């Protein structure tokens, strides 16, 4: 491909919503290659690296997020089918799930309650306003659910979105190392823990470790979103 062809492609993409989609895919491709080159170092999680690349590009080119999202929304649309597709590996682990449904349920309810209460408590201790506390409370649920809960209980959905993504990234980066320190080796246990604490980004990391861990993480992510929608508003009414 000659320079003229590359120039023509750039001119076309720069005036098309496909630019956002293209830079997203390229950024993730480069980030994933870097992740593999590092020996799958969790500190170089491809989600974290690609997000950093995209932020740098938007700042360097003075591109508005709304302009980028015209193309980036195609990736956003695929989140729905990707979430539904988690049912496939979960079905493959169905026999093990039936044997563990009681500890899974207990862990789920405890995890959601502790995540909400500790977020509110820490924000209060550090002097955060009630609005900030409400924004933090649902942060461990997947972003669309967390934002809806935040709006209902008096938080800021935009702040909740940022905190939710940050929670997922921290869980994906630190989760596997924490399991090693605690000497937890059962992939189903690790999957439930990271799914409850770090939702979709954590689940993506879990699938990189093993199919079983990813399946249980996907289950925990879905069920914790449902549980958070019920428990967090009740918890807020109880505390306030």
For residue 168, the tally of other CB atoms under 10 A from its CB is 28
pLDDT given at position 96: 73
pLDDT given at position 13: 52
pLDDT given at position 4: 55
Is residue 172 within 8 A of residue 44, CB to CB? The reply is no
Q: Which of 24, 105, 7 is nearest to 71 (CA)?
A: 24
pLDDT digits (tens, 9 = 90+) for 105-133: 888 899 899 989 999 999 999 998 999 99
Q: Determine what percent of the chain is predicted with pLDDT higher than 90.
A: 10
Compute the half-sphere exposure of residue 101: CA atoms within 13 Å on the CB side of its CA. Answer: 4
Q: For residues 34 and 28, give the distance between their C-alpha atoms in angstroms, rounded to a whole number.
A: 10
Q: For residues 200 and 126, give the distance between their C-alpha atoms in angstroms, rounded to a whole number.
A: 28
Q: For residues 104 and 98, give the distance between their C-alpha atoms in angstroms, rounded to a whole number.
A: 10
Dihedral angle, C-alpha 100, 101, 104, 108, nearest 10 °: 180
Distances (CA, A) of 105 to 86, 100, 144: 19, 9, 23
> What's the whole-model pTM score?
0.73
Name residues of the chain where pLDDT drops below 70. Answer: 1-17, 72-73, 76-77, 79-80, 82-84, 86-87, 89-90
């Amino acid at each position: 491909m000659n320079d003229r062809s590359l120039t023509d492609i750039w001119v076309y993409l720069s005036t098309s919503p496909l630019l956002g989609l293209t830079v997203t895919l390229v950024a993730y491709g480069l980030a994933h290659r870097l992740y593999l080159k590092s020996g799958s170092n969790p500190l170089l999680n491809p989600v974290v690296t690609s997000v950093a690349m995209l932020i740098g590009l938007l700042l360097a080119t003075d591109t508005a997020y709304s302009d980028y999202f015209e193309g980036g929304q195609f990736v956003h649309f695929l989140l729905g089918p990707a979430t539904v597709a988690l049912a496939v590996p979960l079905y493959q682990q169905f026999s093990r799930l039936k044997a563990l449904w009681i500890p899974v349920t207990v862990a789920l309810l405890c995890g959601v309650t502790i995540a909400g209460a500790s977020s509110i408590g820490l924000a209060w201790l550090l002097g955060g306003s009630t609005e900030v506390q409400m924004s933090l409370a649902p942060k461990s649920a997947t972003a669309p659910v967390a934002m809806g809960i935040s709006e209902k209980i008096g938080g800021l959905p935009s702040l909740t979105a940022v905190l939710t993504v940050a929670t997922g990234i921290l869980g994906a980066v630190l989760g596997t190392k924490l399991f090693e320190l605690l000497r937890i080796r059962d992939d189903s246990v690790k999957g439930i823990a990271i799914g409850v604490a770090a939702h979709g980004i954590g689940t993506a990391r879990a699938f990189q470790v093993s199919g079983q861990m990813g399946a249980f993480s996907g289950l925990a992510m879905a069920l914790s979103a449902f549980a958070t929608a019920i428990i967090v508003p009740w918890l807020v009414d109880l505390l306030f």
